[in-house]
Structure 1
Amino acid sequence: MIAGLELGGTKCVATLAEGREVVEQRRVPTRDAAATVGELTAILDEWVMAHRVEAIGVAAFGPIRTDRSAPDFGTFLATPKPGWQGFALAAHLEARYGLPVGLDSDVNGAALAEGRWGGAAGMANHAYVTVGTGVGVGLVVGGRTLAGRAHSEMGHIFVDRAAGDEGPGNCPFHGACVEGLISGPALAARTGLAGEALDEMHPIWNQFVHVLARLVHTIVLTAAPERVALGGGVLATRPGLVARVDAAVRDGLAGYAQVPFTVGPPLLGDQAGPLGALALALGRLEAGAA
């Protein structure tokens, strides 16, 4: 039995599972760290008391310290989310439960889940892009998530914009980075309309496709993945955008990609994130909690 916590920008999902098989799943809104973690640990307390839970996996929004050798491993860094910066989540869970804790970014977790059970099963090199409250990229190279001293933050790179696409962008750190242009909050700020009110013919989608295709272009030429999964809340209800991004990527590459690749939705759908937390728990157990 393992437990997983997916911490997203608007909601958190707690999952109890026996290996891959989900036994129970609960959702809580993402608020400040004290309130949110209080609700999540109340759920974990119940599960740990009732079941022989062997490990906890955490797939969290960032930035969060993912270097296990760092003294502040599992601590939130300069996040724009109020009340989270400096919160030592991994240390809190380890001290409370005395269990192995596997932790990585939410999008890295989703990428690992797609590699274990989803559309990238059997692939050693693949990527997962989520477009929702934020924009994140999980890169798996040689079967492992790609990370240096911290996890990837490719959602904050700058790319060229479509002709006529102007404005400051919505990212509080970088303005018109990828996240500042195409995340859910960015689309709302740029159009004055909530996501569900944006119909398929709105001109913002042309700009969206251009920016996301440029991000995928960079991923393909940087990591040479076999597959790039495009997920997250913005894309979940608009599958036609995935095909448009795929076409725009191939047009932009002009045949230059050195290996064949596919672009498509995550096979695990909206369960990629929660299952990512489980993949991190299993990975920690498989590593012997060393």
Structure 2
Amino acid sequence: MTSNPSIAGLELGGTKCVATLGSGPQDVRERHVIPTTDPVTTLAGLEKVLDGWAFDAIGIASFGPIELNPARPDFGAIVATTKPGWSGTDLTKRLAARYAKPLAIQTDVNGAALAEARWGAAAGLSTHAYITIGTGVGVGLVANGRPIMGYAHGEAGHMRSARAPGDSFAGWCPFHGDCAEGLLSGPALAARFGRPGQDVSDDAPEWDYFAHDLAALLHNLVVSLAPERIAIGGGVMTQRPALFPRVREKLAAMINGYGALAGYCAELETRVGPPGLGDMAGPLGAIAMGLEAIDR
């Protein structure tokens, strides 16, 4: 790999896409934001940016679900998704043909998790997680330094957990109702609160259900994978850092001193928190994928 490669990183999110030219946190040369609308308009806007750049590789970190098995004919495409109009959208073939550069793709959350390991708060860790809570809920899981991949990439953002007593909210997810995304995402909060989450004060009692549901998701991740660190980013928690203590308290109560996890819960201030890369974790996840494309 060249000492200072130029990576065209494309982070595709449910609300906006970020195109970044650079090679890491200390080398961000350009950054452009494109609204996520329909696939034709959005991808054309990203290609217009890339057409003006000279780069060595393309890295894509996208909302999903994405087909990540290279042996399948729809590799690199978004499969059935809650984002209207995006199911079946190809993200790789058209870009590979247009630019003839090495290309690598991952989910946005796996990309962010890899960026956190490369440059952020998960540096030196083997097993860790990155959660984004925004338009949707995504969970990136890394074990032994690589994203977990089975038949498909994981969808822990659609995990179901025990509900808080007295909570009758049906959930927002069109596939699963009251899964994590159906309870925690921005659209879910707007449906639950009757107004956007940003209009609800930090100390409002409505956030108790949110804290419970997020802690329940974390509980399931901790007892199944025991991540050394869990970074939580995305618009909802970025705007509400004051919720972290409430979530940690509920998580510790759910773990309830069980086994070796009692020690884990004594360290939640460092185990569960915002990404070390802040709101650049997502864009740098795309850069990390471009570096992997060159390495391969």
Alignment TM-score, normalising by the size of structure 2: 0.93
Equivalent in 170, 173, 176 of residue 171 of structure 1: 173
Q: Deviation of residue 269 (structure 1)? A: 0.8
Distance in 2 of aligned mates of 1:39 and 1:13: 11
Q: Does 2:46 match 1:40?
A: yes
The DSSP-based 3-state class of the residue aligned with 1:280 is: helix
After superposition, the CA RMSD in angstroms is 1.3
Equivalent in 92, 99, 102 of residue 100 of structure 1: 102
Q: Deviation of residue 257 (structure 1)? A: 5.5
Q: What amino acid is aligned across from residue 148 of structure 1 in structure 2?
A: G
Q: Deviation of residue 93 (structure 1)? A: 0.8
Q: Any conservation in 2 of the 1:19–1:282 contact (CA below 8 Å)?
A: no
Q: Does 2:270 match 1:270?
A: no
Equivalent in 11, 15, 25 of residue 6 of structure 1: 11
Q: Which residue of 2 aligns with 1:283?
A: 292
Q: Any conservation in 2 of the 1:57–1:277 contact (CA below 8 Å)?
A: yes
Identity of aligned residues (%): 53
Q: What amino acid is aligned across from residue 4 of structure 1 in structure 2?
A: G
Equivalent in 82, 89, 92 of residue 91 of structure 2: 89
Q: Which residue of 2 aligns with 1:118?
A: 120
Q: Which residue of 1 aligns with 2:3?
A: none
Q: Any conservation in 1 of the 2:202–2:243 contact (CA below 8 Å)?
A: no
Q: Which moved more, 1:29-38 or 1:251-260?
A: 251-260
Q: Which residue of 2 aligns with 1:30?
A: 36
The DSSP-based 3-state class of the residue aligned with 1:187 is: helix
Q: What amino acid is aligned across from residue 117 of structure 2 in structure 1?
A: G
Q: What amino acid is aligned across from residue 9 of structure 2 in structure 1?
A: G
Provide, for residues 12-62 of structure 1, a one-character-per-residue CA deviation record: whole Å limited to 9, x for no partner: 000000344110000010011100000001101111xxx2x1110101001
Distance in 2 of aligned mates of 1:246 and 1:94: 43
The residue correspondences of 1:151-230 to structure 2 (distance < 5 A) are 151-230=153-232
The DSSP-based 3-state class of the residue aligned with 1:119 is: coil
Q: Residues 186 and 158 (structure 1 numbering): CA distance in 2 closer, same or farther, change over 3 Å?
A: same
Q: Which moved more, 1:243-252 or 1:3-12?
A: 243-252
Q: Residues 146 and 87 (structure 1 numbering): CA distance in 2 closer, same or farther, change over 3 Å?
A: same
Q: What amino acid is aligned across from residue 59 of structure 1 in structure 2?
A: A
Q: Does 2:77 match 1:68?
A: no
Q: What amino acid is aligned across from residue 283 of structure 2 in structure 1?
A: P
Distance in 2 of aligned mates of 1:108 and 1:204: 30
Q: What amino acid is aligned across from residue 28 of structure 1 in structure 2?
A: I
Distance in 2 of aligned mates of 1:19 and 1:171: 35
Q: Any conservation in 1 of the 2:110–2:140 contact (CA below 8 Å)?
A: yes
Distance in 2 of aligned mates of 1:216 and 1:257: 17
Q: Any conservation in 1 of the 2:130–2:232 contact (CA below 8 Å)?
A: yes
Distance in 2 of aligned mates of 1:229 and 1:6: 18
Q: Deviation of residue 144 (structure 1)? A: 0.2
The DSSP-based 3-state class of the residue aligned with 1:229 is: strand
Distance in 1 of aligned mates of 2:249 and 2:82: 33
Provide, for residues 220-259 of structure 1, a one-character-per-residue CA deviation record: whole Å limited to 9, x for no partner: 1111211011111000011111222122112211222536
Unaligned ranges ≥5, structure 2 = 1-5
Unaligned ranges ≥5, structure 1 = none
Q: Which moved more, 1:18-27 or 1:167-176?
A: 18-27
Distance in 1 of aligned mates of 2:30 and 2:68: 27
The DSSP-based 3-state class of the residue aligned with 1:89 is: coil
